[in-house]
Amino acid sequence: MAFDGFVIRALVHELSEKLLHTKIHKIYQPHQTDLLFILRGYGTNHSLLISANPTYPRMHLTKRNFVNPTEPPMFCMLLRKHLEGGIIEKIYQIDNERIIYIDVKVRDELGDFHQKRLIVEIMGRHSNIILINPDNNLILDGINHVTAAVSSYRQVLPGKEYIAPPKQNKLNPLTLEQEQFFSLIKLNEGKIDKQFVNNFTGMSPTIAKEILYRAGLPTKENLWNAFYDWMEKTNNHNYNPAIVVSKEKTDFSIFPLNHLSGETTSFESINECIEEFYDKKAERNAIRQKTLDLMRFLVTEKQKSEKKIEYLYQDLKEADQAEKFKLYGELITAHLYQIKRGDKEAHVVNYYDENQKMITIPLNPFKTPSENAQHFFKKYNKLKNSREYIETQLTKTKEEIAYLETIITQLENASIQDIEDIREELVEQGYLKERKRKKHKKRNVPEIEKFISSEGYTIYVGKNNRQNEYLTHKLASALDTWLHTKDIPGSHVVIKSKEFGEATLNEAAIIAAYYSKAKNSSNVPVDYTLIKYVKKPSGAKPGFVIYEKQKTLFVTPDETLIDNLRTTK
């Protein structure tokens, strides 16, 4: 993923055109590594996302909605104190490096103007967002602290002097002369694309490969012409941002990547290109990080229940031997005269067998014959009484596993907004301890994801049990159609109409299959029936229902179809 110096140059140019002299209205920190700036100016609002995510560091304008924490983190509070109400005076980059500087003019409590500088370092897992006072170059704070134990070269801590990341003795390719280029690039000294990366700032392997590809036959003159053409267009801000999806990889840059054979999509704006490229990737990564501990806990609980099932079946198998122990007790009683203390086994006639076969009964040699008989009778009674309990526990444990599988499936399909509902449900069900309580807030009506079928009918899907219960038992009407994967954990889906065509029914079934454990399968069975035939048993776990008079469709999940049918909430 080439968030390199060239992308940053294009981004800085575009942001400068749109954001200079805008006012910082609000600052949020929706995730641990992400900041959202709401900017006002020229009669419009802009949302600027800045992320130091170690996997997907980035910065761009965004149209996405984010869920912000009830209590903002400390770094967010500090930024609000120093930057809210400030005016963006300058956005710039130095020497094609992967660092963006944002100078903000702010007014202090006395009404005097001062300057603050936000520094965005986009450097993979070492990415950071740092606020400094440019008058004395001291750090006010950073979203990621770097201590002396981590880096002896520089520390990112409040009160420390800001030191830029160490330079790598590379040249700025945007100001390079032809003679310098020829002296640096050696045709017979290793891979040329690696020489590009090692010699020039902001040069990613992707761009190096692209310039080499555009050069064709790698003579020095061809390499220079391809290199110069790329740099000239960049210097003139003559960009053509594009995303390419190929078999090898999906990537983006300020110009089409011709060396990757695949489908290319061009964009008028680098911001739109970046958001399109990172949007789903970053959200999936954020969800994965947010649900990591939760998913691990649920999988562990499921494994415990599965182990319990094994033990219960062992107990049930033993309970099936109750009649055998009763038989042993009765036969020992009938043959007391033949058995004596100290015998390890008894060979007696089985009177209950029509062929009167001999049977061998194991004995405890330290017990009398009568005590051995009583031992078997007690074991018989215990197993007989335990069978009903074991069967009840088996039913409950199977329901438990089904419930946990449903929650795991919901987490796999969850958006950021859905996760808190799932966590709250697990607290209510006693799986998790309640977090430190804050002021009680009245729960709002859950937002249900909405789709419009190709025939124009509304389809709803519940992506967690709170949404499922609201959708099925409150939002839906008696004659609406309800769908769910057959015997597979998944979401409740409702077609909000009494009448619709086969296309709508098939599309709703595909949605149900997509939001289920069978998401990556084919020919998934999906049951459908009317809402009036769907009931929740008394005392059942959230989201659990029984239904009747259903029919079954077989469909294959289709993500492209899902995206085309999806509407905004």
CA distance 119 to 98: 11
At 1, the pLDDT band (50, 70, 90 cuts) reads low
Q: What is the 3-state secondary structure (H, E, C) of 28-42?
A: EEEECCEEEEEEEEC
Q: Which of the listed residues 378, 412, 435 is the one where a domain comes to its end?
A: 435
Both structure tokens of 185 = 């690039």
Higher pLDDT, 67 or 123: 123
Residue 256 and residue 324 in one domain: no
What's the whole-number mean pLDDT along residues 74-92?
96
Q: In 320-368, which ranges are continuous DSSP H helix?
A: 322-334
Q: Which of the listed residues 373, 408, 435 is the one where a domain comes to its end?
A: 435
Higher pLDDT, 293 or 477: 477
CA distance 400 to 431: 11
Please state whether beta strands 262-266 and 493-495 pair in parallel, antiparallel, or not at all (unpaired): unpaired
pLDDT at 568 over 60: no
Residue 132 and residue 70 in one domain: yes
Q: Which of 261, 214, 205 is nearest to 233 (CA)?
A: 214
Backbone dihedral angles phi then psi of residue 553, each to the nearest 5 degrees: -110, 155
Q: Which residues contact 534 (CB under 8 A, 6 or more apart)?
A: 472, 482, 545, 546, 547
282 inside domain: no
pLDDT at 4 over 50: yes
162 inside domain: no
pLDDT at 552 over 90: yes
Q: Which residues contact 353 (CB under 8 A, 6 or more apart)?
A: 359
Residue 110 and residue 20 in one domain: yes
What's the whole-number mean pLDDT along residues 327-340?
90
At 173, the pLDDT band (50, 70, 90 cuts) reads very high
322 half-sphere exposure, CB direction, 13 A CA radius: 14
Residue 305 and residue 431 in one domain: yes
Residue 385 and residue 308 in one domain: yes
At 569, the pLDDT band (50, 70, 90 cuts) reads very low
At 443, the pLDDT band (50, 70, 90 cuts) reads low
CATH code: domain of residue 78? 2.30.310.10
322 inside domain: yes
pLDDT at 237 over 70: yes
Domain count, the chain: 4
Both structure tokens of 316 = 């049930």
233 inside domain: yes
Residue 493 and residue 388 in one domain: no
151 inside domain: no
At 436, the pLDDT band (50, 70, 90 cuts) reads low
At 462, the pLDDT band (50, 70, 90 cuts) reads very high
Q: Which of the listed residues 218, 234, 268 is the one where a domain comes to its end?
A: 268
What's the whole-number mean pLDDT along residues 316-336?
87
Residue 259 and residue 371 in one domain: no
Give the CA angle between residues 82, 84, 89 to the nearest 5°: 85
CA distance 372 to 290: 59
- Between helices 192-199 and 205-215, what is the axis angle to 10°? 130
Which amino acid appears at position 139 of this protein?
A: I
At 435, the pLDDT band (50, 70, 90 cuts) reads low
What's the whole-number mean pLDDT along residues 423-442?
72
Confidence at residue 55, expressed as pLDDT on a 0 to 100 scale? 87
Confidence at residue 204, expressed as pLDDT on a 0 to 100 scale? 93
195 inside domain: yes
Confidence at residue 440, expressed as pLDDT on a 0 to 100 scale? 46
Query: Which pTM does this prediction carry?
Result: 0.64
Q: What is the full DSSP assignment across 146-215?
A: B-TTT-SS--B-TTSBP-PPPP-S-B-GGG--HHHHHHH--TTSS-HHHHHHHHBTT--HHHHHHHHHHH
Q: Which residues contact 310 (CB under 8 A, 6 or more apart)?
A: none
For 220-285, strand residue ranges (E) read 242-246, 250-253, 262-266
CATH code: domain of residue 346? 1.10.287
Residue 96 and residue 17 in one domain: yes
Confidence at residue 453, expressed as pLDDT on a 0 to 100 scale? 95
Domain extent for 400 = 293-435
- Burial of 374-395, coded b for 16+ CB within 10 Å and e otherwise, reads ebbbebbeebeebbeebeebbe
pLDDT at 170 over 90: yes
285 inside domain: no
Collapse the DSSP code of 553 into the 3-class scheme (helix H, G, I; strand E, B; otherwise coil) and give the result: strand
DSSP 239: -
CA distance 51 to 109: 29
CB atoms within 10 A of CB 2: 20
Collapse the DSSP code of 267 into the 3-class scheme (helix H, G, I; strand E, B; otherwise coil) and give the result: coil
What's the whole-number mean pLDDT along residues 131-147?
96
Which amino acid appears at position 465 of this protein?
A: N
Residue 10 and residue 100 in one domain: yes
pLDDT at 417 over 80: no
pLDDT at 438 over 60: no
Q: Quick one: 306 exposed, middle or buried, by C-beta within 10 A (0-12, 13-18, 19+)?
A: middle
Residue 343 and residue 477 in one domain: no
Residue 358 and residue 460 in one domain: no
How many Å from the N-terminal Cα to the C-terminal Cα in the chain?
A: 31
Quote the mean pLDDT of the chain. Answer: 91
Secondary element (H or E) of residue 547: strand 546-547
CATH code: domain of residue 182? 1.10.8
CA distance 82 to 106: 7
442 inside domain: no
**Tens-digit pLDDT profile for residues 68-79:** 887 899 999 999
What's the whole-number mean pLDDT along residues 186-204?
91
pLDDT at 525 over 90: yes
What's the whole-number mean pLDDT along residues 536-558?
93
Both structure tokens of 211 = 């310039």
Both structure tokens of 94 = 């130095």
CA distance 56 to 35: 13
Residue 35 and residue 103 in one domain: yes
The answer to whether the CB of 300 falls within 8 A of the CB of 432 is no
Q: Quick one: 307 exposed, middle or buried, by C-beta within 10 A (0-12, 13-18, 19+)?
A: exposed
Both structure tokens of 133 = 């006072």
Phi-psi domain of 543 (left: phi exceeds 0; alpha: psi -120 through 50; beta: other): left
Collapse the DSSP code of 552 into the 3-class scheme (helix H, G, I; strand E, B; otherwise coil) and give the result: strand
